[in-house]
Chains A and B, each alone.
Chain A
Amino acid sequence: MKNNLADDIFRTMVDNADTAVLYTEPSVPNSLNAKEYHVKYANKKAQNFFFIPSDSNENQSLEEIVKYDELLILANKVLETNEDENFNIIVKESDNILNYHVRIRSFNKGLLFALSLIKPKYITDKESKHPLGSLESRKRELEISNLFGIRVLDSNDSIICYLKPIFNKKGDVEDFRIDYINNRMGEIANDDSAFIEGQTILEYYPKNAENGVLEILADGYTTGENKEYTKEFIFNEKSVWLTTRAVKMNDGLILFSKDVTQEKTYEAQLFIQNRLLSEAEHVANIGSFRWNLAKEQIKYSDNVYRLFGYDPNEFDDKYDRLLTFLHPNDFEKVKSSFKAARINKSKSDLVFRVYTKSKELRYMNTIAECYQKEGNWYMVGVIRDVTKQIEAESVLQIKNTELKRTNADLEAFNRVASHDLQEPLRKVQMFVSRLDDEEEGRLSNRSQDYLSKIKYSSDRMRNLINNLLSYSKIDEVGEQPRRVDLNDVLYNVLEDLGERIKDLDAKVDSVSLPVVNGIQFLLEQLFANLIGNSLKYVNEGVRPNIKIIGSIVSGDKSLVESLLPNINYVKLQFIDNGYRIRKKVSRENF
C-alpha cells in the first residue's frame, strides 16, 4: 500500500514536471542489440513530444519510438557505452524553433530520456559528442545551421533574399531567380516565401524591368560592386518604398531590403513643409536659422542668404562668417548678445546693421530662442529685414518732431492770440465802453455813430479771435469723434443765440435731425455759424425764418464728387429767407 502511494505521488510529480521523461526497455531483457523496445513509462510531456499514445504497449523499434535521428544515434551510444549523454537539440514545431536539453542514461534494464526546454542560445558543434568531421557531425551541423539560419533570417527586420542570375544567349543577365526569401515579404505583400521562391524577379514584379531594379542588379552581379538603391513598389495597390543593398555572393546576389515607406512619407511631408516655409519666408522677407550651440556652424534657410544679397549656400555656414557682414559699430553688440544667449540659453532679440553683398546697408532684426534636444542645445530664430520699418520709424520721428514744433508754434500763437492780441483790444473796448457811458447824450450824432462803429468792429474782432482760439483748441484737446445727437447741438446753439433770436423774433424749426458720429464742439460751431449768418444776412424788417432738415442720402445718388458710392451720408439743409451768400464765403463756413 505504501509503495503504491509513493508511486502515485511520484507519478503525479513527474507528470506535472516541465521535463519530458521517457523510459523504454528492450522486449528481450539484457539484449544489447535489441531490435524491439516497448515504452514502459512516458509522462504527459514525453507523450506529446514523442507522439506516444497513453495506452501504448506494443513493441516498436527504438527508431520508431524516438523518431529523431539525433536521439537515436545517441541512445544507441548509451546502450553501447553505458555512459550518460547530455546534449542540446533544435526542433522545429509548426512555426516555432525550440531548443531542448536532452539527457539519456542507462537506467535499470533500459534507457531513460529526459528532455527539458531551454532558452534559445547559440549552439555549436562543440556540444556534439560526434567526432569532428564525421558524416553525422557534418549532417547535424548542417541541420543546426539551417534551423539557425532560418531563425536568424526570419527574425531580421529586413527583407533578405538570394537571387541567381538568368542569362540570355548573349551571356547577359536578363533576369534573376529568387532562390530564397525570408518571411518579411508576407508583411508587405501578403505573399508566402514559398510562393515567391522559384519565381524570377520579373515574374514576381514585372515592373522591375522598367524601374531600373533589374538593370542595377545585373550591373551589380556583372561588376561585383555593392549596389544600393531606394525604389517605390506597389503591392496590393499600396505604395511601399524599399531601400535595398545588393551584395554579390558566390554565383548570386544577396539583397537586404528595408521598408522605408514611413520615412519616405515623412520625407515627402517635410519636403512640402520646407517648401511652404521657404515660400512663406520669401513672401514675408524673413529667414530662419538653426544653430547647434556646441558647434560654430549655423544652418541658414535659403532666404537668409537672399536677405544678405547672396544665392542660397553661397557663403559658408561658419558663425564667424556671419559677423563679417555686420556694421562695425554693431559688431560688439551682436557678438555679446549671441554670447550671452549662448551661455544663458536666453532669448535674444536685437536689431543690427549689415552690409549686403552689394555693400548696401540694411537693418536686420533677429529673434532667437534656445532649446534642448537629445542633450544638445540649439538656438533657432528668424532674421528679418526691418530696413523699411526703421526708415519709416525715422520718418515718423522726424514728423513727430515737426509736429511737436508745430504744436509749440500753435501754443505760442495761442498765447499771442489770447493775451497779446486780446489785451489791447480789451482796452479799446473798455475805453469805448467808458466813453459811451460818460459822454452819453453829449456827443454829436456823427460822433455817436463813429463810436457805435468802433464798438461793433471791436466786438467783431473779439469774436473772430475767440473763434480762432476755439479752432486751434481742437487739436490741443485731441477729441475723438463720438455719437452726437444733432438735436442737442441745435438746442445748445439756440441757447447761446437766444437773445439775438428774441430781438429779431426769428423762427427756427428743425426736422429729423439724426445722431451722427462727430465732435460736438465742432458741430455746435457749424450750427452757430450757419444760424448766425441766417440771422445776420436778412433784409431789414424781415423776420428771419430758418429751417434745418436732416436726411440720409446714398453717396452714389449725390451730386457731390467727393462722396463715395454705396455709403450713406447725413445731409443737413439750412434753409432761410435771407439773401444769398457768395459761394466763396459759404465754402469757408464748412
Chain B
Amino acid sequence: MDKLRILLVDDDEDDRQFFADALEGIELNTDLHQLENGKSCMEYLLTDTDNTPDLVFLDLNMPIMNGFECLEAIRRTPHLKDLLVAIYSTSSAERDIEETFEKGANIYIKKPSSFNELKKSLKQVVKMNWAYHLNDFKKENFLLKI
C-alpha cells in the first residue's frame, strides 16, 4: 500500500515537531513533508505535480503568506482545486472558521493542548474515508475543535 503523502505548512517549529511526533506515534504508513509558510508551500506545489500530496495541513497565522492566502492560491490552481486541505490552527474564532470553509477548506482542526489529543485528531483525519464524507458534506462534520 502506498504511503499517504502529507504536507504540513506551519511556521512554528515546535508545532511541526509535535505534529511529526504525533504522526509517527499513530503508526500509520505516512510520508510527511514540512514547510514554513504559504509562499514556500505554493512554490513547492507548483514546481512539480509529483509534489502534490494526498493531504495538506495548513496553519493560518504565518509570515510572508498566511494560511488564508495560501488556501485561496491552492483553490485557484486548476490541478490543486480538489486537493484535501485541513486547516490546523490555534484560532477558535467563528469568523476564521467560516472564512476558511468559504475559501474551500475541507476540515478545520483546532490545535490541541495535549499530545494525546493531537494524536487522536490526526488519526481521525488521516483515516477518514474522504471520498465518502465529501459526497455528503456537512460543515459540522469537518470541524474538529479539540
A contact set with B: CB distance below 8 Å: 414-415, 418-419, 422-423, 425-427, 429-430, 433-434, 437, 462
Contacts and interface: CB of A to CB of B under 8 A. Distances in A.
A501 B114 CA distance: 23
Interface in B42-64: 61
Interface in B88-132: 90-93, 111-116, 118
Nearest to A426: B113
Contact of A429 (B91, B92, B113): B113
B115 A422 contact: no
B18 A430 contact: yes
A437 B25 CA distance: 12
A419 B91 CA distance: 6
Given A426-B113, A433-B113, 17 more contacts: A418-B91, A418-B92, A419-B90, A419-B91, A426-B90, A426-B112, A427-B14, A429-B113, A430-B14, A430-B18, A430-B114, A430-B115, A430-B118, A433-B114, A433-B116, A434-B18, A434-B21
Nearest to B18: A430
Contacts of B114: 429-430, 433
A418 B111 CA distance: 12
Contacts of B18: 430, 434
B115 to A, nearest CB: 4
Nearest to A469: B92
A578 B26 CA distance: 44
Contacts of B116: 433, 437
Contacts of B93: 414-415, 418
A414 B96 CA distance: 13
Which secondary structure dominates where chain A touches chain B? Answer: helix
A426 B91 CA distance: 12
Nearest to B89: A419
A429 B91 CA distance: 16
Interface string B62-103: 000000000000000000000000000011110000000000
A423 B90 contact: yes
Contacts of B112: 426, 430
The residue in B14, B90, B113, B118 that gathers the most chain A C-beta atoms within 10 A of its C-beta is: B113
Contacts of A429: 113-114
A279 B63 CA distance: 71
A426 B115 CA distance: 10
Contact of B61 (A414, A419, A427): A419
A426 B61 contact: no
| Interface size range on B against A | 10 to 19
28 contacts: A414-B93, A415-B93, A418-B90, A418-B92, A419-B90, A419-B91, A422-B90, A423-B90, A425-B113, A426-B90, A426-B112, A429-B113, A429-B114, A430-B14, A430-B112, A430-B113, A430-B114, A430-B115, A430-B118, A433-B113, A433-B114, A433-B115, A433-B116, A434-B18, A434-B21, A434-B115, A437-B115, A437-B116
The residue in A423, A426, A462 that gathers the most chain B C-beta atoms within 10 A of its C-beta is: A426
Contacts of B118: 430
Nearest to B118: A430
A437 B18 CA distance: 13
B113 A462 contact: yes
A419 B112 CA distance: 13
A426 B116 CA distance: 13
Contacts of A425: 113
B2 to A, nearest CB: 30
A471 to B, nearest CB: 15
A419 B89 CA distance: 10
Contacts of A422: 90
A457 to B, nearest CB: 13
B117 to A, nearest CB: 8
A524 B118 CA distance: 29
A414 B94 CA distance: 12
A422 B113 CA distance: 10
A19 B116 CA distance: 134
A428 B29 CA distance: 29
Contacts of A414: 93
A578 B112 CA distance: 34
A285 to B, nearest CB: 47
A487 to B, nearest CB: 27
A443 to B, nearest CB: 17
A437 B115 CA distance: 9
Nearest to A459: B113
A224 to B, nearest CB: 99
A462 to B, nearest CB: 7
B128 to A, nearest CB: 23
B116 to A, nearest CB: 7
A449 to B, nearest CB: 20
Contacts of B21: 434
A426 B92 contact: no
A423 B113 CA distance: 9
Closest 3 CB pairs of A and B: A429-B113, A433-B114, A433-B115
Contacts of A427: 14
Contacts of B90: 418-419, 422-423, 426
B78 to A, nearest CB: 34
Contacts of A415: 93
Contacts of A437: 115-116
A418 to B, nearest CB: 6
A414 B130 CA distance: 34
B129 to A, nearest CB: 29
Contacts of A430: 14, 18, 112-115, 118
Nearest to A466: B92
B53 to A, nearest CB: 24
The residue in A433, A437, A462 that gathers the most chain B C-beta atoms within 10 A of its C-beta is: A433
B44 to A, nearest CB: 25
A320 B128 CA distance: 83
A426 B90 CA distance: 9
Nearest to B119: A437
Nearest to B113: A429
A423 B111 CA distance: 9
A181 to B, nearest CB: 97
The residue in B61, B90, B114, B118 that gathers the most chain A C-beta atoms within 10 A of its C-beta is: B114
Contacts of A433: 113-116
A425 B61 CA distance: 17
Interface string B30-44: 000000000000000
